A = this chain, B = another copy of it.
Amino acid sequence: MSQKPNRESLIRVAEMFRVFSEPTRLAILQLLKDQPYSVNDLVEQLETSQANVSKQLKTLYEADLLFREQRGNQVFYSIKEKMVYDLCELVCDKLNRSARASAEVFYQI
């Protein structure tokens, strides 16, 4: 995006952002920040079905954000793209700034 991006590039960028636009997927990424987990490990820590965890893992994997390793009859996922956490931090900082800004309005009354 250093040049004027064409429509096709914008679509690809948008698709990547869409991967991050879902709380369950963000929760998975956050868990994988610490260590790899099997699908079942993740299911136990997330309040959703195994079907859904597998589905969201597939989305993350196909976005090239995760590694996938089969060990016996389990599958372990781990983080491939650390930039994920940079993205989240930028967004969190922004949300905190906005929250503080609107709080200030309140405090100034």
What does DSSP make chain A's interface, helix, strand, loop or mixed? helix
Interface size class of A (residues with CB under 8 A): 35 or more
* List of B residues within 8 angstroms of A4 by Cβ: 30
Q: Mark A2-28, 1 if CB is under 8 A from B, else 0.
A: 101101011111111110111101110
30 contacts between A and B (CB under 8 A): A1-B30, A1-B85, A1-B88, A4-B30, A5-B26, A7-B23, A7-B27, A10-B27, A10-B30, A11-B23, A12-B95, A13-B23, A13-B88, A13-B92, A13-B95, A14-B20, A14-B21, A14-B23, A14-B25, A14-B26, A17-B21, A17-B87, A17-B91, A18-B18, A64-B94, A64-B98, A81-B94, A83-B93, A87-B87, A90-B90
